[in-house]
Amino acid sequence: EVQLVESGGGLERPGGSLTLSCAASGFILSNHDIHWVRLAAGKGLEWVAYNGNTGDTKYATSVKGRFIVSRDNDKNTAFLQMSSLRDEDTAIYYCARGWGGVPANWYFDLWGHGALVTVSS
């Protein structure tokens, strides 16, 4: 079955770090871009980061310098390393498979069910 499965969510204190994993199955991760999107309670979707299949990356201003995307193609898994966590980072984090090539054409055709990250003291 073609799917993405996030893991690694949990409770972390402000200032702490957490790494999310996104395991791909049914397709070869190295052939695809991966994006991270989050949904905070009572708010809308927010794009977080892009991990291109050629190694390029982009980040939302709200997480730049604190979050890092990476991947292990041998394990068919992508990662989102989150550090200097803030209360406002509390959200469900989704990984999604990207298409479109240039950013103006980006779209995400496959999403995981999400991982909950709670930042609280």
Partner 1 sequence: QSVLTQPPSVSEAPRQRVTISCSGGSSNVGNSAVIWYHLLPGKAPKLLIYYNDMLASGVPDRFTGSKSGTAASLAISGLQSEDEGDYYCAAWDARLNAYVFGTGTRVTVL
For residue 8, what is the enclosing H or E element?
A: none
Q: How far is the CB of 16 from partner 1 (least distance, A)?
A: 25
| Contact between 60 and partner 1 per CB under 8 A | yes
Beta-bridged to residue 119, according to DSSP, are 12
* Edge-to-edge strand ranges of the sheet holding 3-7: 3-7, 18-25, 77-82, 67-72
Considering only 13, 75, 86, 113, the residue that binds partner 1 (CB under 8 A) is 113
In 3D, which of 11, 30, 36, 15 has the Cα closest to residue 112? 36
User: Is position 116 an interface residue for partner 1 (rule: CB under 8 A)?
Assistant: no
Task: State yes or no: residue 47 binds partner 1 (CB under 8 A).
Answer: yes
| Interactions with partner 1, residue window 65-104 (CB under 8 A) | 94, 96, 99-100, 103-104
First to last CA, the chain: 39
Name the site residues for partner 1 (rule: CB under 8 A).
4, 35, 37, 39, 44-47, 50, 58, 60-61, 94, 96, 99-100, 103-114
